[in-house]
Amino acid sequence: MNAPGSPDASDVLGESRDQAEQEEAKFVELCLQFAEPPPPGEPLSPPHRAADALTSGEPPQAVSSAPLIAPPAPEPRIYTRAELDNRAEPGERPQAGDAETPPRSATPMHLAASTFLSLVMVLALLLLARLMVPSLVENIRYGWYRGQLRAEYELSNQRLRSISINSLSDVSQLVSQRVGPSVVHINLLREEESLSQLEKLLLPNMPPNSLLEGQGSGFVIDQQGHILTNYHVIESSGKIEVTLSDGRRVQARVIGVDPTTDLAVLKINASGLMATEWGDSDTVSIGTPVWAVGSPFGLQQTVTFGIISGKHRVDFRETREAQAIPAGNVYGDLMQSDVALNPGNSGGPLVDSLGQVVGVNAAILGDRFQGISFSIPCNVARRVAQQLIEKGEVARGWLGISMGELADSERYDQDGNIQPGVRVEGFPVHEPSPARDAGLQVGDILVHFEDKPIHSSSELMRLIGETEVGTPAVVGFLRNAQLSEVKIILGKREIGLPK
């Protein structure tokens, strides 16, 4: 029994239960307020039970099964009472309906600005690629092509030294690869005014037309851009245009010319040049296989094959085509071959099976190829080219005489042997003459020059030309059938550049 006035136990229990239910309801309400809503279309998980179910034996009932539509958010989280106390102090707890302000980076204005900036950067990159890619691709393709030429150039040099001459087809291909990158095509252009006076006034900056005046071949002899060709190729006045083996076209200027040997040196400004290699024309013998590379009739990089047919060709008087070879412009000691040469081949190299230059193609008999071609020996061409590069001219010796060949009755002595010699026919009128100053007279027969017999005037010109200016030379001559000698100090032959 309870004492009178004391509370009944059931009442106390009921009040405690009511108080617990109220506190639990408040706790659930706070959890619902601070819980992050689930994604749209999904119910709250797990469903909350009613407060009565915590103490009664009734089955649990969900407070609500209706879905809570809210903006997308992470998985819902139920905070404990301790977390709630730490998160929201009294007077600072968030109220229902309050929403957190989204971060600045998620605002529509910032997203639009970021998208616009990205679009501008992409467009700028596309424009830059449009401007740079063509030239970059062109440089890559050109570099690849130049690398291929360089690889063939180097590899052919190694294989040419090890391959057997029996493999003629392989040798021809390797020679072409070895020499081809060094051979150039030469165009001689002449500018011609084709505009009327009125058109010149209306179009003052219109350039004149360029007409093709001549063409020939040449080859690179060093990395500095020097090109060797024939003098008669660039003899006439005009603009000189050189086409390289890779297709580049560059302007060339004349460094020096030597009409006596029919040689000229040009200079171009270009990179990546591949020079030829000099051989030795003195060791070349009759029957040696040779190749000629050039541009006959403008057909660039044409290769023809033949053999050396003869050497020291100095006298063409007995040939039917003697007039076809201008004596004043062709060197007097030529190599003969049967390689096919045609107009446009002049100035190109004649090479051996090692791809080395042994001659410079200069002339043919007649106005078309007949199986007889002539080339300037490389030992002469190399020496002349070096002097033209260093001095702009060849310091060639000069006797100061006009010469003539002996008559048939004078060619043989009393025993029927061929008698060497050329006749002195005159001296320059208004110029000094070393031969006249030394005592030679008209009618004297020159028989030897420095102990070398003189068989023709062209041979004597070659011997004089190979002697340095100012050198004393001993010349043997016949006067009244008496052999005498005289020492002559050679003068200098004056040769200028073409205008």
DSSP three-state, residue 272: coil
Phi, psi of 390 (to 5 degrees): -80, -40
Pairwise CA distance, residues 331 & 322, whole Å = 14
User: What's residue 212's pLDDT?
Assistant: 74
Among 391, 416, 438, where does a domain finish?
Answer: 391
Among 391, 410, 438, where does a domain finish?
Answer: 391
Pairwise CA distance, residues 444 & 440, whole Å = 7
User: What's residue 308's pLDDT?
Assistant: 94
Pairwise CA distance, residues 385 & 221, whole Å = 9
The CATH number of whichever domain residue 362 belongs to comes to 2.40.10.10
∠ Cα 327 333 338 (to 5°): 95
The CB-side HSE value for 305 (13 A sphere, CA atoms) comes to 10
pLDDT band at 448 (very low <50, low <70, confident <90, very high): very high
Residues found in the chain: 499
Q: Is position 362 within any domain?
A: yes
User: What's residue 111's pLDDT?
Assistant: 74
Task: Based on the fold, state whether residues 351 and 373 are members of the same structural domain.
Answer: yes
The answer to whether residue 150 scores a pLDDT higher than 50 is yes
The answer to whether residue 90 scores a pLDDT higher than 60 is no
Kindly give the residue spans of alpha helices, DSSP state H, lying in 180-284: 197-202
User: What's residue 149's pLDDT?
Assistant: 83
Q: What percent of the chain has a predicted confidence (pLDDT) above 70? A: 68
Q: Is position 443 within any domain?
A: yes
Which amino acid, 36? Answer: E
Task: Based on the fold, state whether residues 304 and 387 are members of the same structural domain.
Answer: yes
The better pLDDT of the pair 140, 185 is held by 185
Beta strands 422-426 and 402-405, pairing class:
antiparallel
Pairwise CA distance, residues 297 & 60, whole Å = 109
Stretch 460-473: mean pLDDT, rounded?
Answer: 86
The better pLDDT of the pair 454, 196 is held by 454
Class of residue 294 by CB neighbours under 10 A (exposed 0-12, middle 13-18, buried 19+) = buried
Hey, which residues are catalytic here? 232, 262, 346
Q: Is position 309 within any domain?
A: yes
pLDDT band at 68 (very low <50, low <70, confident <90, very high): very low
Task: Based on the fold, state whether residues 387 and 304 are members of the same structural domain.
Answer: yes
User: What's residue 260's pLDDT?
Assistant: 81
Tokens coding 351: 């090479």
Query: How many domains is the chain partitioned into structurally?
Result: 3
Task: Based on the fold, state whether residues 403 and 387 are members of the same structural domain.
Answer: no
The CATH number of whichever domain residue 478 belongs to comes to 2.30.42.10
Q: Is position 310 within any domain?
A: yes
Task: Based on the fold, state whether residues 423 and 459 are members of the same structural domain.
Answer: yes
Task: Based on the fold, state whether residues 378 and 401 are members of the same structural domain.
Answer: no
Task: Based on the fold, state whether residues 465 and 387 are members of the same structural domain.
Answer: no
The answer to whether residue 89 scores a pLDDT higher than 80 is no
Task: Based on the fold, state whether residues 304 and 383 are members of the same structural domain.
Answer: yes
Taking the CA atoms of the chain, what radius of gyration do you get in angstroms? 51
Render 137-156 in DSSP notation, one character per residue.
HHHHHHHHHHHHHHHHHHHH
Task: Based on the fold, state whether residues 477 and 462 are members of the same structural domain.
Answer: yes
With 0.85 as the threshold, say if the pTM is over it: no
* Across 101-105, 422-426, 453-457, least confident range: 101-105
Q: How do residues 390-411 score in pLDDT, each as one tens digit?
A: 988 888 788 999 988 888 777 7
Task: Based on the fold, state whether residues 374 and 423 are members of the same structural domain.
Answer: no
The answer to whether residue 365 scores a pLDDT higher than 60 is yes
Task: Based on the fold, state whether residues 387 and 283 are members of the same structural domain.
Answer: yes
Q: Is position 118 within any domain?
A: no
Q: Is position 245 within any domain?
A: no
The answer to whether the CB of 313 falls within 8 A of the CB of 330 is no
The answer to whether residue 477 scores a pLDDT higher than 60 is yes
Q: How do residues 156-209 score in pLDDT, each as one tens digit?
A: 888 888 777 667 888 888 999 999 999 999 998 876 655 566 655 655 554 556
User: What's residue 198's pLDDT?
Assistant: 62
- DSSP annotation of 412 reads B
Q: How do residues 258-315 score in pLDDT, each as one tens digit?
A: 888 899 999 999 999 999 999 999 999 999 999 999 988 888 888 999 999 988 876 5
Q: Is position 164 within any domain?
A: no
Structural domain including 80 reads 10-59+68-90
Q: Is position 51 within any domain?
A: yes
Q: How do residues 317-348 score in pLDDT, each as one tens digit?
A: 444 444 444 444 445 678 999 998 888 889 99
Task: Based on the fold, state whether residues 414 and 382 are members of the same structural domain.
Answer: no
- DSSP annotation of 207 reads P
